[in-house]
Chains A and B, each alone.
Chain A
Amino acid sequence: MNIKWAALAETAGVSLLVTVAVVVVFALGNLALSRREAAVAAGTGRGVPALVAAGVCFAACTAVVLYGISLIASK
């Protein structure tokens, strides 16, 4: 019986890393968005840096999703 433990471990490791990375980036985007809302509500500015940061975070998440779809489609 030939079980490829290395491939299994690799799959597990990649899955763990990607999941945590995507959720962390998404949560940061979420946090930035709420900072902006707070800034606008408090009248301390329009929260442009926070908005840009949120945009970058969500764009990164979108890129990962598109890569995922391309993985399904190319099989």
Chain B
Amino acid sequence: MEHITFLVAVVIITALAFDFTNGFHDTANAMATSIATGALKPKVAVAIAAVLNFAGAFLSVKVATTISGGLVNEKAGLQPSIIFAALVGAILWNLLTWLKGLPSSSSHALYGGLIGATVVGVGLHGVNFSTVVSKILIPAVASPVIAGLASWGATKLAYLITRGAPKEGTEKGFRRGQVFSSSLISLAHGTNDAQKTMGIITLTLISAGALHKGDGPPTWVIVSAGLAIALGTYMGGWRIIRSMGSGLADIKPPQGFSSEAAAATVILTSSHMGYGLSTTQVCSGGIMGAGLGGPSGKLRWGMVRRMAYTWGLTLPAAAVVSGLAALVADRGNWGVAVVGLALVVGAGSMWLVSRRQPVHADNVNDAAPAAAEVPAVVAPAAAPTTLAA
């Protein structure tokens, strides 16, 4: 640890900050529909997700030895300043999409950031574009479609099978099932995403000479990465939970269970087959399929469209921001300080803007602020009628 320079310290802190936004952004993936159907109370849901994300960080001992899975040429030397610039772009994009309440992929933001920073810092030859297509672009298009199809079919069948039984009883059963299906997604998320941060910190420490090549992550790295993602998860990205839970479709327990089962299956099968895909896109695809397969068959296409645009923009947008950051951070310690300051100012101002219309555990299930006021007006009016009767 004696070799830790200013830059390395900054990279570690920024990596943990990214990990935090990752947890924060992705709580919705596992918990949005469980909160929307009432399977779990909002606060309970985020607490379970946080604990399981933390546990997930310890579940797998074999940490990814590459950050990028071969997207950028790491052998040429992934400088800490490039990693730093990549993280800055990813964090800023994550916060912007959170402010808009849009689920976007934290992994794509990180990959985009790495690509942008590498192009600026190393050159175009530093990026393996064929890996970008086969490992990111194709799974990014295919995975939400597959999750959507699976979830659509499962929803249809779930309704068909339970059509004769009383609705209250079967809905209670599906709600209980949702507790398990959303827990499984949380666990898988912690395993996949906390490891990315561990990989970043470990590689940075190796490049700084504080660890030997091929060393695994020290315990403090595992614990701090697990804690950062768990803390972020517990904070709950309520804006995104609202969009995914009630913005896409009105989700009932059979639909929630089907979409979560589809998402968990797609995530587990494809990570087993070696595809690095986006949990966010898979879960959103699952919810869309469940919305279409449900009794009303309705989907709010405006929200679907906004999400699809965001998915397309994530990688290039993070790449542009990170490219700019790399340009400045490459100038030396003062450049790193300037980029760091820009990150703090950018993140702080987005947080301030979010305070104007806060979304939290208590109002997360209200579709819009206007809709929330209607029951409040009706309730007092109904009370005297009951008394009079």
Point out residues on A near B: beta carbons under 8 Å.
1-4, 7-8, 10-12, 14-16, 18-20, 22-24, 26-31, 33-35, 37-38, 61, 65, 68-69, 71-73, 75
Rounded to whole angstroms, the CA-CA distance of A16 and B289 in the bound complex is 12
Q: For residue B94, which residues in chain A have a CB less than 8 angstroms away from its CB?
A: none
Contact of A20 (CB < 8 Å), options: B134, B157, B269? B157
Whether B272 is near chain A, meaning CB under 8 Å from some CB there, is yes
Contact of A26 (CB < 8 Å), options: B257, B266, B273? B257
Tell me what chain B mostly uses at the interface: helix, strand, loop, or mixed: helix
Which of chain A's residues has its CB closest to B153's CB? A20
Contact A24 B154 (CB under 8 A): yes
Rounded to whole angstroms, the CA-CA distance of A61 and B270 in the bound complex is 20
Q: Which of B10-18, B184-192, B378-386 contacts A (4 or more CB under 8 A)?
A: B184-192
Point out residues on B near A: beta carbons under 8 Å.
56, 59-60, 62, 130, 133-134, 138-139, 142, 146-147, 149-151, 153-155, 157-158, 161-162, 164-166, 169-170, 173-174, 177, 180, 184, 187-188, 191, 254, 257-258, 261-262, 264-266, 268-273, 275
Can you spell out 9 A-B residue pairs with CB atoms less than 8 angstroms apart? A8-B139, A11-B275, A14-B269, A15-B262, A15-B270, A20-B153, A23-B154, A71-B268, A72-B268
Q: For residue B142, which residues in chain A have a CB less than 8 angstroms away from its CB?
A: 8, 12
Contact A19 B273 (CB under 8 A): no
Question: Known: A33-B173, A69-B184. Is A19-B265 also a contact (CB below 8 A)?
Answer: yes
Rounded to whole Å, the gap between the CB of A67 and the closest CB of chain B is 9
Rounded to whole angstroms, the CA-CA distance of A46 and B136 in the bound complex is 54
Rounded to whole Å, the gap between the CB of A66 and the closest CB of chain B is 10
Rounded to whole Å, the gap between the CB of A61 and the closest CB of chain B is 8
Rounded to whole angstroms, the CA-CA distance of A43 and B273 in the bound complex is 51
Contact of A30 (CB < 8 Å), options: B62, B174, B270, B271? B174
Q: For residue B59, which residues in chain A have a CB less than 8 angstroms away from its CB?
A: 69, 72-73
Q: For residue B272, which residues in chain A have a CB less than 8 angstroms away from its CB?
A: 71, 75
Rounded to whole Å, the gap between the CB of B262 and the closest CB of chain A is 4
Rounded to whole angstroms, the CA-CA distance of A22 and B273 in the bound complex is 20
Contact B177 A65 (CB under 8 A): no
Rounded to whole Å, the gap between the CB of B252 and the closest CB of chain A is 13
Question: Known: A12-B146, A27-B162. Is A72-B154 also a contact (CB below 8 A)?
Answer: no
Rounded to whole Å, the gap between the CB of A49 and the closest CB of chain B is 16
Q: For residue B170, which residues in chain A have a CB less than 8 angstroms away from its CB?
A: 27, 30-31, 34
* Residue among A10, A30, A33, A75 facing the most chain B CB atoms (10 A cut-off): A30
Contact A18 B162 (CB under 8 A): no
* Residue among A4, A19, A33, A61 facing the most chain B CB atoms (10 A cut-off): A19
Contact of A22 (CB < 8 Å), options: B164, B165, B191, B265? B265
Rounded to whole Å, the gap between the CB of A68 and the closest CB of chain B is 5
- What 16 additional pairs, Cβ within 8 angstroms, besides A1-B133, A19-B151? A8-B138, A12-B146, A15-B150, A19-B150, A20-B154, A24-B161, A26-B261, A27-B157, A27-B162, A30-B177, A31-B164, A31-B165, A34-B165, A69-B184, A72-B59, A72-B188
Which of chain B's residues has its CB closest to A74's CB? B60
Q: For residue B134, which residues in chain A have a CB less than 8 angstroms away from its CB?
A: 1-4
Rounded to whole angstroms, the CA-CA distance of A44 and B56 in the bound complex is 47
Contact A23 B60 (CB under 8 A): no
Rounded to whole angstroms, the CA-CA distance of A4 and B149 in the bound complex is 21
Contact of B162 (CB < 8 Å), options: A4, A30, A69? A30
Rounded to whole angstroms, the CA-CA distance of A28 and B56 in the bound complex is 31
